[in-house]
């Protein structure tokens, strides 16, 4: 029922043409669409009821992300409603509760600033937060910050003394500079620099030198939701390809009658179904046993990366020359797949985690 409701809304409010329109207008975010999602309760899918949310769980968040992936919706859903909401839930204080309420109401957009190099590796963060009286001074830069230009607040990972600390900062604080990154999928991303940015103890999310207690569950929630979105991208590309196979004719018959193309389409369908199962399992595991969900999450992200890559490559090839043109929507699916494959860990990153955990 949730999927059907989401599909009906998104087909009308955010088809692929909506993304094309934003790109052509030089925009990366639609506040009106985000407000509509908030009215439907999507922004509070992981926010506790006492903070104004729906608290439907990670499996539900994955369903929403998957439906968004089918039409390449541009929104800060994963960064805000999934990652930030999960991180804030790990902290039991009034400030976190207020932030969660802001997310549920659609009034606050968060970005996650963890990566500093070309690959996702939070544990290797080198940006420093140097003790300064009762607080800190944060200096350095973060790259590939999704939703970084639209965000009101940013979760920043920095090295403090003996470990890593997670800070929750407003993006308009003195010393924070944001510059837009140009990504092939035309979505919001930024490089953020921190020039001796002042942070107090109240800005620390969780405990000093213990960022991963808060951040790890949030990252895994985001990775599972991103895998679900990628599954939706694969499903959207597959559906578009099948329709083309039915309509395009050669030698007087639809090209979908050719056995070679039927075999390729059948193989792709099988891959999307197996991956959908892995994605659903990751969501269930996060809901039922989050402390032991790492294997399921990394397996889902790795499989989703493989499957969405296959889906968009097959889609472009089976569309022939038209699949390579900007006038046709298949290229948008390929671009989204490429960026999503890198965000929050690429195939190699998650395959290594799966391999390590299966040895234990």
* pLDDT tens digit sequence for 262-299: 999 999 999 999 999 999 999 999 999 999 999 999 99
pLDDT band at 322 (very low <50, low <70, confident <90, very high): confident
Residues 197 and 229 in one domain: no
Residues 87 and 157 in one domain: no
Single out the residue in 153, 174, 208 at which a domain terminates. Answer: 208
Q: Quote the percentage of the chain above a pLDDT of 70.
A: 100
Whether the pTM exceeds 0.75: the reply is yes
Contact 69, 293 (CB under 8 A): no
Helix 259-288 vs helix 211-247: crossing angle, to nearest 10 = 160
Contact 221, 83 (CB under 8 A): yes
Residues 67 and 41 in one domain: yes
Residues 262 and 335 in one domain: yes
Residues 199 and 250 in one domain: no
Interval 8-17 mean pLDDT: 94
Tens digit of pLDDT for each residue in 233-257? 999 999 999 998 888 888 888 888 8
Query: What's the confidence (pLDDT) of residue 360?
Result: 65
Segments forming the whole domain that contains residue 136: 111-208
Residues 216 and 355 in one domain: yes
Mean pLDDT of the chain: 95
Query: What's the confidence (pLDDT) of residue 255?
Result: 83
- Joined together, the tokens standing for residue 128 give 């420093």
Residues 217 and 341 in one domain: yes
Q: What is the DSSP string of 85-124?
A: HHHHHT--SHHHHHHHHHHHTT---EEEE---SSS--GGG
Contact 47, 54 (CB under 8 A): yes
Q: The CATH number of the domain where 192 resides is what?
A: 2.40.110.10
Residues 229 and 320 in one domain: yes
């Amino acid at each position: 029922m949730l999927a059907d409701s989401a599909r009906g809304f998104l087909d009308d409010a955010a088809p692929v043409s909506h993304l094309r329109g934003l790109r052509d207008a030089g925009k990366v975010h639609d506040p009106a669409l985000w407000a509509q999602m908030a009215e439907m309760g999507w922004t509070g899918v992981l926010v506790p009821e006492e903070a104004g949310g729906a608290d439907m769980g990670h499996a539900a968040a994955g369903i929403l992300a998957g439906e968004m992936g089918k039409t390449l919706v541009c929104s800060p859903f994963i960064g805000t409603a999934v990652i930030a909401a999960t991180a804030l839930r790990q902290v039991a204080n009034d400030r976190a509760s207020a932030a969660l309420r802001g997310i549920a109401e659609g009034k606050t957009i968060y970005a996650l600033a963890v990566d500093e190099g070309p690959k996702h590796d939070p544990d290797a963060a080198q940006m420093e937060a140097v003790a300064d009286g009762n607080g800190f001074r944060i200096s350095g830069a973060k790259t590939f910050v999704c939703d970084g230009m639209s965000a009101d607040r940013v979760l920043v990972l920095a090295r403090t003394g003996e470990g890593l600390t997670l800070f929750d900062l407003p993006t308009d604080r003195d010393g924070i500079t944001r510059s837009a990154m140009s990504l092939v999928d035309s979505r919001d991303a930024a490089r953020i620099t921190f020039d001796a940015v002042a942070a107090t103890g109240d800005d620390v999310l969780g405990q000093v030198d213990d960022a991963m207690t808060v951040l790890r569950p949030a990252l895994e929630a985001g990775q599972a939701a991103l895998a679900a979105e990628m599954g939706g991208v694969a499903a959207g590309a597959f559906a578009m390809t099948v329709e083309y196979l039915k309509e395009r004719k050669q030698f007087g018959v639809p090209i979908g009658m050719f056995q070679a193309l039927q075999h390729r389409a059948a193989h792709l369908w099988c891959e999307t179904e197996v991956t959908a199962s892995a994605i659903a399992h990751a969501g269930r595991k996060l809901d039922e046993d989050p402390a032991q969900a790492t294997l399921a999450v990394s397996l889902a992200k790795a499989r989703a990366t493989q499957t969405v890559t296959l889906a968009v490559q097959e889609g472009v090839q089976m569309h022939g020359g038209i699949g390579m043109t900007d006038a046709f929507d298949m290229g948008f699916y390929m671009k989204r797949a490429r960026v999503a494959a890198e965000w929050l860990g690429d195939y190699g990153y998650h395959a290594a985690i799966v391999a390590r955990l299966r040895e234990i």
